[in-house]
């Protein structure tokens, strides 16, 4: 439920100007999701949304532009997503496949992309599976240790 709500929040802030948390709550309700102000506030923090200026003295929620996300926050998000959504993983050669709960693969892949792990040269996410390409192949054991630690 949390992953789906956060995916919807990202869709909503990309589609239209959301000026307040109440605007966001209303947009979520219109899509069948009820959330408290505290929940929305936590989601905004976890998604690292920022307020950007729009016409006049108004501000809207948006994904941060440019720059790198805070590494500590990115790692915390990655670990939480792994514990909540990753079912299993397996590897073959320089490829690692991560299986997630339905609908969670893109969020997990995005968090992996933001991790900055040098072993990963690319991710491809579907609905419930992620393909990681690792280079060089000798780094696969190092990467799987990291994945295992995230699941603990």
pLDDT in tens, 79-97: 999 999 999 999 999 999 9
pLDDT of residue 67: 53
Longest dimension (CA), the chain: 55
What is the per-residue DSSP string for 114-151?
A: HHT-TTEEEEEE-SSEEEEEESSGGGHHHHHHHHHHHH
Q: pTM for this structure?
A: 0.62
pLDDT of residue 69: 58
Domains along the chain? 2-62 (1.10.10.10), 72-151 (3.30.1360.40)
pLDDT of residue 4: 86
């Amino acid at each position: 439920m949390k992953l789906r709500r956060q995916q919807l929040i990202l869709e909503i802030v990309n589609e239209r100007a959301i000026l307040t948390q109440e605007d966001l709550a209303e947009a979520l309700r219109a899509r069948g999701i009820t959330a408290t102000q505290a929940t929305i506030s936590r989601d905004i923090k976890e998604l690292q949304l920022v307020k950007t200026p729009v016409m006049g003295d108004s501000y809207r929620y948006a994904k941060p532009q440019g720059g790198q996300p805070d590494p500590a926050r990115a790692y915390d998000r990655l670990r939480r997503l792994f514990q909540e959504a990753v079912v299993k993983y397996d590897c073959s050669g320089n490829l690692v496949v991560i299986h997630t709960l339905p609908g969670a693969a893109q969020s997990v892949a995005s968090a992996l992309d933001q991790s900055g792990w040098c072993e990963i040269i690319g991710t491809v996410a579907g609905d419930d599976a992620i393909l990681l390409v690792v280079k060089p192949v000798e780094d696969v054991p190092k990467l799987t240790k990291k994945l295992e630690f995230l699941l603990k």
